[in-house]
Amino acid sequence: MAEEKNNIEELLNDDDNLQKAINIIKGKGNTIMSIAAFNEQDSNIRKEIGQHFGDQLSTIDKSLSEHLGIEKEGNEKTVDFITRVVPGLKSELDTLKSDRDKGITGVDSLKAENNSLLEKLNLAQQEKEDLKTEFNTTLINKDKQHLVNKALSKLTFKEGIDTILTPAKESFIDTILKTSTLEDNKLVFKDSEGVTQRNDKNEPVTVFELASKQFESVLSITNKKEGLGGKEINAKSSTLLNFAASRKPTNFGEADATLKAYYQQQEKKIVNGSKEYLSGMSELRKAYNI
């Protein structure tokens, strides 16, 4: 390198070899120009560099303004602008992250609260339906109980047995309320398969028939009661009819049961087809239009 420098200096001292020196410098990739040309070139380069970076900074300023909504203050330089804005953005970002994390927890809490409210709403709705059902059941049972008491009022019971009769009636009424349905203001009794229970006349069994059978052993045989068909059983009637007055048989089967119960009470046995049986059945069928 030192040798090449010495060679160049020797050529520069010789006017004839000046062009050769210029050629050597050009061969080294350098361009020879005057100071004025150099200064002009330097000025242009600086302008180009300044314009390039100025455009880039303007783009940054514009982007920050559009995306952040924050403007530069007066003649504030971009670097000062960034230095002023970024710390605040960092703080806001940290706050947003914290709020987001809290929000996630809050969403879970709101979801749990919402599920709890839905559960309470469903329970309230169920309670409402239960109360409605209970109310309707109460009204229906009230009508049922009226019909049962009406049937029981037609029966004449032995005297002096209220202590056992009252709870027996209450138990009977409770059973009827549970095992009957109210249809056309009448009590209907059905079996487990939903088939209406019928008597010997193939008619729906009545609450009166059930009551007569249930309280058969405590029915009076001396009190006067009005029989079926509007006939009155009075003191001149036979003992069998007095006994039957509390039962009021409405069909052949009930008459048969009444007759046999009458003889059983007297500790006697009656045989189907016997003279006593035929006579008793005839008397009952005639009295109650069976």
Q: What is the pLDDT of residues 190-248, one digit of tens each?
A: 877 788 888 877 788 888 888 888 888 888 764 334 333 334 433 334 578 888 877 78
How far apart are the C-alpha atoms of 16 and 55, rounded to whole Å? 50
Higher pLDDT, 126 or 200: 126
Residues 248 and 277 grouped into a single domain? yes
Residues 130 and 229 grouped into a single domain? no
The single-letter DSSP state of residue 215 is T
Residues 43 and 158 grouped into a single domain? no
Which of residues 45, 68, 91 is at a domain's end?
68
Which of residues 48, 68, 88 is at a domain's end?
68
The domain total for the chain is: 3
Residues 121 and 198 grouped into a single domain? no
How far apart are the C-alpha atoms of 215 and 198, rounded to whole Å? 20
Q: Which domain holds residue 55?
A: 2-68
Residues 78 and 40 grouped into a single domain? no
Residues 177 and 278 grouped into a single domain? yes
pTM of the entire structure? Answer: 0.37
Residue 117, burial from CB neighbour count under 10 angstroms (0-12, 13-18, 19+): exposed
Residues 26 and 91 grouped into a single domain? no
Question: Is residue 43 situated within a structural domain?
Answer: yes
Q: Do 255 and 280 contact (CB within 8 A), yes or no?
A: no
